[in-house]
Structure formats: structure tokens, C-alpha cells
Amino acid sequence: MAFLHKLSKASSVAGARLIRRLSNVPENTVYGGPKPQTPNQRMTLNQLKQKYKKGEPITVVTAYDYPSAVHLDTAGIDICLVGDSASMVVHGHDTTLPISLDEMLVHCRAVARGATRPLLVGDLPFGTYETSTSQAVDTAVRVLKEGGMDAIKLEGGSPSRITAAKAIVEAGIAVIGHVGLTPQAISVLGGFRPQGRNVASAVKVVETAMALQEAGCFSVVLECVPAPVAAATTFALQIPTIGIGAGPFCSGQVLVYHDLLGMLQHPHHAKVTPKFCKQYARVGDLINKALLEYKEEVANGSFPGPSHTPYKMNPKDEDAFTKELQKMGLDRAASAATKAAAEPEKTNTEQ
Amino acid sequence: MAFLTKLSKTSSLSRACLSRCMSHVPENTVYGGPTPQTTDRRVTLNQLKQKYKKGELITVVTAYDYPSAVHLDIVGIDICLVGDSASMVVHGHDTTLPISLEEMLVHCRAVARGAKRPLLVGDLPFGTYETSTSQAVDTAVKVLKEGAMDAIKLEGGSPARITAAKAIVEAGIAVIGHVGLTPQAISVLGGFRPQGKNVSSAIKVVETAMALQEVGCFSVVLECVPAPVAAAATSALQIPTIGIGAGPFCSGQVLVYHDLLGMLQHPHHAKVTPKFCKQYARVGDVINKALLDYKEEVTNGSFPGPSHSPYKMNDNEVNGFYKELEKMGLNKAASAATAAAEKMSTAQGPDVEKSQK
């Protein structure tokens, strides 16, 4: 459960009830009857289930910090995933393997501060849940306790992963499974390679997804599999599938924030955007242009102009200041101060 | 010193010299004669000094992660500051106080991976250098050793801070001072309030800047002071001043990445941009629109279309898959699979059946 206890500023609920960001506050559910679905409440598992039953696609985007979380909240994205993709897009590594649990928890907390409406899901990073079932439960507990998340996601469909998922659910933590291309396993997969392209692999995708459902997962991510495989899996399950590079037949879609925004796109340094990812903007180009303009304006002295130089001294103080400086023997400084006071737009030519 | 030992891909130095991102590799400076100022080398203290002497203004922007560092590098910003402003713009706190040294080091390392050319400066966060001079030196050492920065910045001009700055310089670590509004001190300042607005406060700004120069700082940041005060301080020093909210008479300027890009600007949730900061873009608006488009397209089923569904199975495999599913009793899944395969091939046209292996 999210730990955010801030009072909602725009609450319209009767005074007797605190509005929290928790979606399952006892007063509301036990004592207060059916909850009103106000727009300021966090997305619940039940609401997701309703969407799925009605055939409404579920939207998921990754976020790693406060501003991106705020953006997802503002746009009304259903699920905010704090992905271990942070390892690549935030920390600049080539794989998702290097990121530690402590680093993930920092990302989780920052996101929790920013996103009050989307369901918050935290990835279990590589190396924090494979050693034993108890390690997996410990890690999942930390992601909720210290990370402020609502649920966790773990990768893989091997028997020990299924057992781990089951134990985590039994510990009371909602779990999203993840099959197909599981980036933490690129060592055995031999790289970021699509899965499910032959019969055996395709059947395995379906079977492991079903096993994860059996273990109690409320959803399964399908990554980089052919569309027919994703379609079959989606139809074989009674829980929503969230696809990425898996075609249009899933119950929902997920994309990485930086990829969908074209955050790093610039001709001189184009980070490869995966081919299944659509760029909905070219933020990288915008950033590049803005920074060039800032650099230009600083270099030619036009920034900061008067409208960005808001702090003033009143003239009496300016005079006294100049006199003090002269007393200290800083004559050049004194005249610089007088000049600055008199001609606020002139750029400094004396150093 | 930066710990980046990756070979530069576009180095044009002779084979005998490893091109590193360090600006003062022994072979280059001791054995190789004067270092060529190629564009792929990291900015050095000396280059900054040359800019300052020639009256060329120095540009500084903050960065907190790999992508922002890459952007600063591409554009050729002089100094990349890993600021404790991360506490507010990345972590969503209301002040710079909560961020820990461990968190700052994570930011520093991510930035170091992305920015090869700008000089890298790491802020010492609140609570990591005020207790004692040795604590200050320890923290500064970590920022360089574990954070891979080239230099550090610390706030304040009290005698204890000046002593700390001196000790850090003596430990061999370049230091940028910071006077005027020092955000870590909002407790005593009573908020984010401009400084130097009366005579004694203004004099104090000049004096502390000079004291910081005296102990070996190579630059001083002036934050939120009136322009005449910044002009006086700049004139009184022989090291560059970097201004923020301090008017146009400093030797350079610094702004926070998210502020200058309008990263959080959206009418429904406008994070207040400081009045001294110019927004060079409205990235927040662009992000909002892009996310709404994505949400729309997922909801109406148009994303992913054929061009974003690249992974195929050939017909044999699809048939085999179908049979397997039927054997498993998953008839609905089986027909979903064949229906999907058909839809994908009609959507893409007949020329898509190339070998996808």
C-alpha cells in the first residue's frame, strides 16, 4: 500500500473522513459504505479488473523520478511502473543488471511522491530475488515498505520464479509476472532477442503465463513476442496481459518513458529506440535546441536580461554599499557596483 | 579526478597516448608536451581560467542522470553541476535538505557516464560537511572517488566553511564556493530569500567570496543577490563568479536543468519556476501532449500498429503452435493465435513475409 498520507487538497469528501492516497482506507471501506470514485483516488486492483472485463485497454508507462511521475499522474496513466530499465535510461548502463535494490528504492520513493493516482508497481532488480524464495519475499516487502509501491513485478517463468511469485502473493503483495523477453536473463538468452518465435518457445510463453496466473499474479507482461503468441496468451488467461513489442492483442500496453518521448533523440547521439516503440515526441531535439539557446545567450551576455534580474537594492543602500567598498580599498568593485546600479542592461566588459 | 577510463572512440591522439576523459593524463602533460585542445577532451581548470581572462562567459547547467548529462555534453556546456537541487527536482522534496550523500553519489556516477566533455562538479549535500573539517574532507573525497567528479561545490561563507574549503583544497580537490542565498541554510535564512539587499549583507557577500578565493576556490557561485552586489564581488575577485538570480555582471551563469527546460510546466500542475530563470522550452507541455496521445492510441487500439509489431512467426510455426494449443485444450487461445497471424499479415501486406529469423 502506498505510504502517502498527505491530505488531498481538492478533496470534496465530508469532513469526517480524511482523504488519503490509500485506496483502501478502513473508514471508507468498512464504515463508510461504497466509496465514491473520485478522480483523486489511486487506481485500485479492482478498477483495473473492471477495465479488463469491459475490454478497455490498460495504459502503463515507466517513471523513475518525481517529474515523470507527476506527468503520468497528470495524463491519467493507469499504472506507473518503476522499472529496472532505469539502469539503462537513467544510469546509462548497457543492461538492466547493474542497478541495485537501494537505487531502485530511491527511484520508487521519488515516484511515489509524484504520482498519486496511478497504481505504483516496482520492479525487483536483477540479483535480489533469484537466490531463494525468502530473498524474493524480503525484497518485495522492501519495495512496498521502503519504496512506497502498491505492487511488484518480477521476471521469468522458471519453477523457482513461479514459487517466488506465489510466496510473495501469500505475503500479501500483489504481483505482475513478466514472460517472453526477460531483460535480466540476456546472459542465457544471448542478448535482447525476441522470444516465442518457434513452437516450443511459443508454447512455453503461454504455459508460464498461465502458471503465473495460477500462483496469484494479477497481470502478466509479455515482452517482445510475435503477435499470435501474445494473442494466444491473452485468450488463455483470465487476467490482463500488458504488452511491449508484443503486438495489439494484449489487454494493455507499456512503454519506457524516455523511448516514447524521444528523450535522447538527437542526430549526433541517437540512442537506439527499440523498433516496437513509437516516439510520440522528440523531446531530445527540444532539449538540445533549448540548451544551445541558453549557451548562446549566456555567451553573448543577453541572459540574464532585466526581466530575469529581479533582486534590487534601494538607492540609499546602494550608495552606502559603494562607500563601504571604497573604505575597504576595493575601488574597482565600488565603481562596478555603481555602474551595475545605473545601467542594468549593459553586459559587464570589465573582469 | 574523474575515474572514466573508457577509450574515446573518436580520439585523434597518437597511439602512445591513451585518450581518457581525464584532462591531465601524465603522458599527455609530462611526456607529450602541450596538450592539443581537441573538442573531445574534458574541460580543464586551465581552459576555464583562459575563458575568464578573455572575458568569455562560462556556462553551467545542472544534470542528475545519464540523459541530461549527454545533452549537456552534446551542446558543449562548460561545467556540469550535479546539484543537490536534485532533492527538489528529481526527488520531489520541498527543500534541498533531505538528499543523502549516497543518493548524490548515484546521481554523480550516472552523470559521469554521460558527460565526457564538461567539467564535472558535485555538490556536497546538507549535513555531510558541517560537523567538522575532517567530515568535509571525507565527503569531498567520496564525491571524487566514488562519484567520479572533477571538483566539488559547498555552500556558505562562515569561518568554519572557509576552513573546510581550505582543507579540501589542500587535500587536492578543486572547490567552487557558493555565497548569497545558500539553499541549505533556509532554516536560518527563513526561506528562499534573496540576500545582499542591505549594506551589511552586501558587504558580507563580497567579503566571504574573497575569503573563499583566499583559501583556494577556483570559482564562486553567487545566488539571488542584487546585480550591483554581484558586480562588486565579480570585480573584487580574480576568479570567475557564476551567477544565478544575480544579474548579468558575473563571469558566468548557472541554471537548473528542469527549470530552464520548463520540464514541469503544465497548467494543471505548474511547479513554480523561479523568477530569475528563463524557460528556453516548454518540455513539460510536450511531454503532457505525448503521454495523452499514447494513452489515446492504446485506448482506441491504434497503438501498436503493424510498424510497431515487428516480431513474426512464419506460417509453419504458427500452425504448429495452433496444434499444440489445441492439444492442451486451449481452443480459444488457438483460434486467437491464427486470427492474429492473419490480421498481422493482411495489415502489413504480402511483401512482409521475408525471413524474420
Of A247, A260, A330, the CB nearest to B309: A247
Coarse DSSP helix, strand, coil percentages of chain A, rounded to the nearest 5 percent: 45, 10, 45
| pLDDT attached to residue B7 | 40
As a whole number of angstroms, the distance between CA B152 and CA B154 comes to 7
> Which of A73, A102, A285, A291 to probe the B interface (max B CBs under 10 A)?
A291
| pLDDT attached to residue B30 | 52
Task: Give the CA distances from residue A27 to residues A1, A6, A17, A34, A150, in Å, rounded to whole numbers and listed in that order.
Answer: 16, 16, 7, 11, 19
Domain termination site, one of A258, A287, A316: A287
Q: How confident is the model at residue A8 (pLDDT cuts 50, 70, 90)?
A: very low
Q: What is the mean pLDDT of residues A342-346?
A: 69
Domain termination site, one of A236, A252, A287: A287
As a whole number of angstroms, the distance between CA B67 and CA B140 comes to 25
Q: Which residues contact A215 (CB under 8 A, 6 or more apart)?
A: A162, A163, A165, A166, A169, A175, A177
User: B266 and A102 in contact by Cβ < 8 A?
Assistant: no
Residue B253 near residue B60, CB atoms below 8 Å: yes
Q: Which of A146, A155, A223, A345 is catalytic?
A: A223
Which grid cell sits at A129? Answer: 530475488
Q: Are residues A257 and A312 in the same domain?
A: no
Q: What is the mean pLDDT of residues A268-290?
A: 84
Residue A63 near residue A106, CB atoms below 8 Å: no
As a whole number of angstroms, the distance between CA A349 and CA A347 comes to 6
Q: Are residues A223 and A348 in the same domain?
A: no
| pLDDT attached to residue A346 | 52
Q: What is the mean pLDDT of residues A187-212?
A: 95
As a whole number of angstroms, the distance between CA B117 and CA A76 comes to 39
Name the burial class of residue B289, with classes exposed (0-12), middle (13-18) and buried (19+) by CB atoms within 10 angstroms of its CB.
middle
User: A311 and B197 in contact by Cβ < 8 A?
Assistant: yes
Name the burial class of residue A109, with classes exposed (0-12), middle (13-18) and buried (19+) by CB atoms within 10 angstroms of its CB.
buried
User: A196 and B263 in contact by Cβ < 8 A?
Assistant: no
Has residue A147 been placed in a domain? yes
User: A233 and B333 in contact by Cβ < 8 A?
Assistant: yes
The string of pLDDT tens digits covering residues B244-267 is: 999 999 999 999 999 999 998 554
Grid cell 523511448 is found at: A259
pLDDT at A110 over 60: yes
User: A203 and B321 in contact by Cβ < 8 A?
Assistant: yes
Q: Are residues A131 and A214 in the same domain?
A: yes
| pLDDT attached to residue B14 | 43
pLDDT at B302 over 50: yes
Buried b / exposed e along B95-114 (16+ C-beta atoms within 10 A): bbbbbebebbbbbbbbbbbb
User: A321 and B232 in contact by Cβ < 8 A?
Assistant: yes
Of A247, A288, A303, the CB nearest to B278: A303
Which amino acid type is present at position B68? S
Under DSSP, the state recorded for A305 is -
CATH number at residue A47: 3.20.20.60
Number of structural domains found in chain A = 2
Which residues of A fall within a CB distance of 8 Å from B66? Answer: 89-92
Q: Are residues A141 and A173 in the same domain?
A: yes
As a whole number of angstroms, the distance between CA B277 and CA B255 comes to 7
Which amino acid type is present at position B167? A
Residue B150 near residue B119, CB atoms below 8 Å: yes
Has residue A57 been placed in a domain? yes
Q: Which of B83, B114, B39 is nearest to B254 (CA)?
A: B83
User: B113 and A102 in contact by Cβ < 8 A?
Assistant: no
Distance from CA of B39 to the nearest CA of A (A): 14
Q: What is the mean pLDDT of residues A337-345?
A: 85
Q: Are residues A194 and A83 in the same domain?
A: yes
Task: Give me the phi and psi of B243, to 5 degrees please.
Answer: -100, 150
| pLDDT attached to residue B331 | 95
Q: What is the mean pLDDT of residues B303-315?
A: 92
Q: How many CB pairs under 8 A join A and B?
A: 397
Which amino acid type is present at position A2? A
Has residue A66 been placed in a domain? yes
Q: What is the mean pLDDT of residues B262-273?
A: 64
Q: Which of B223, B297, B317, B326 is catalytic?
A: B223
Has residue A293 been placed in a domain? no
Name the burial class of residue A342, with classes exposed (0-12), middle (13-18) and buried (19+) by CB atoms within 10 angstroms of its CB.
exposed
User: A283 and B286 in contact by Cβ < 8 A?
Assistant: yes
Map residue A80 onto helix, strand or coil: strand
pLDDT at B5 over 50: no
Distance from CA of B14 to the nearest CA of A (A): 25
As a whole number of angstroms, the distance between CA B85 and CA B97 comes to 9
List the beta bridge partners of residue A236.
Answer: none
pLDDT, mean over chain B: 88
Of B229, B236, B318, the CB nearest to A228: B318
pLDDT at A31 over 80: no
Q: Are residues A248 and A317 in the same domain?
A: no
As a whole number of angstroms, the distance between CA A237 and CA B333 comes to 9
Q: Which of B328, B326, B327 is nearest to B336 (CA)?
A: B326
Q: Are residues A330 and A211 in the same domain?
A: no
pLDDT at B355 over 80: no
> Which of A280, A327, A330, A339 to probe the B interface (max B CBs under 10 A)?
A280
Q: Are residues A122 and A245 in the same domain?
A: yes
As a whole number of angstroms, the distance between CA A188 and CA A195 comes to 12
Which grid cell sits at B332? Answer: 480459444
| pLDDT attached to residue B347 | 79
Has residue A296 been placed in a domain? no
| pLDDT attached to residue B37 | 55
As a whole number of angstroms, the distance between CA A130 and CA A140 comes to 12
The domain of A116 spans 2-287
Furthest CA-CA distance within chain B: 88
Q: Which of A141, A233, A232 is nearest to A178 (CA)?
A: A233
Write the DSSP string, A184-238: GGHHHHTSS-----SHHHHHHHHHHHHHHHHHT-SEEEEES--HHHHHHHHHH-S
> Closest-CA residue in chain B for A65?
B90
| pLDDT attached to residue B281 | 94
Count the Cβ atoms, other than its own, within 10 Å of residue A25: 18
Number of H helices, E strands in chain A: 14, 8
For residue B176, the surrounding DSSP H or E stretch is strand B174-180
What stretches of chain A show up as alpha helix (H) in DSSP? Answer: 26, 45-53, 66-75, 86-89, 101-114, 133-145, 159-170, 186-189, 199-215, 227-236, 257-261, 283-299, 315-327, 331-342
Q: Are residues A120 and A181 in the same domain?
A: yes
Has residue A298 been placed in a domain? no
| pLDDT attached to residue B165 | 98
Of the CA atoms within 13 Å of residue A21, those in its CB half-sphere come to 22
Which amino acid type is present at position B78? D
Count the Cβ atoms, other than its own, within 10 Å of residue A177: 28
Count the Cβ atoms, other than its own, within 10 Å of residue A113: 18
The string of pLDDT tens digits covering residues A148-183 is: 999 999 999 999 999 999 999 999 999 999 999 999
Number of H helices, E strands in chain B: 14, 8
Higher pLDDT, A32 or B88: B88
Coarse DSSP helix, strand, coil percentages of chain B, rounded to the nearest 5 percent: 45, 10, 45
Map residue A241 onto helix, strand or coil: strand
| pLDDT attached to residue B31 | 54
Q: Are residues A272 and A345 in the same domain?
A: no
As a whole number of angstroms, the distance between CA B36 and CA A314 comes to 49
Task: Give me the phi and psi of B120, to 5 degrees please.
Answer: -100, 120
Q: Are residues A105 and A169 in the same domain?
A: yes
Count the Cβ atoms, other than its own, within 10 Å of residue A5: 9
The string of pLDDT tens digits covering residues A131-154 is: 999 999 999 999 999 999 999 999
pLDDT at B200 over 90: yes
Domain termination site, one of A260, A287, A314: A287
Say what the ipTM of the complex is: 0.84
The string of pLDDT tens digits covering residues B168-178 is: 999 999 999 99
> Which of B80, B100, B313 to probe the A interface (max A CBs under 10 A)?
B313
pLDDT at B4 over 50: no
List the beta bridge partners of residue A223.
Answer: A180, A244
Higher pLDDT, A36 or A305: A305
Distance of CA A294 to the CA centre of its chain: 28
As a whole number of angstroms, the distance between CA B51 and CA B72 comes to 18
Has residue A297 been placed in a domain? no
Q: Are residues A108 and A54 in the same domain?
A: yes
- Tell whether B255 is within 8 A of chain A (Cβ): yes
pLDDT at B348 over 60: yes
Q: Is B223 a catalytic residue?
A: yes
Under DSSP, the state recorded for A180 is E
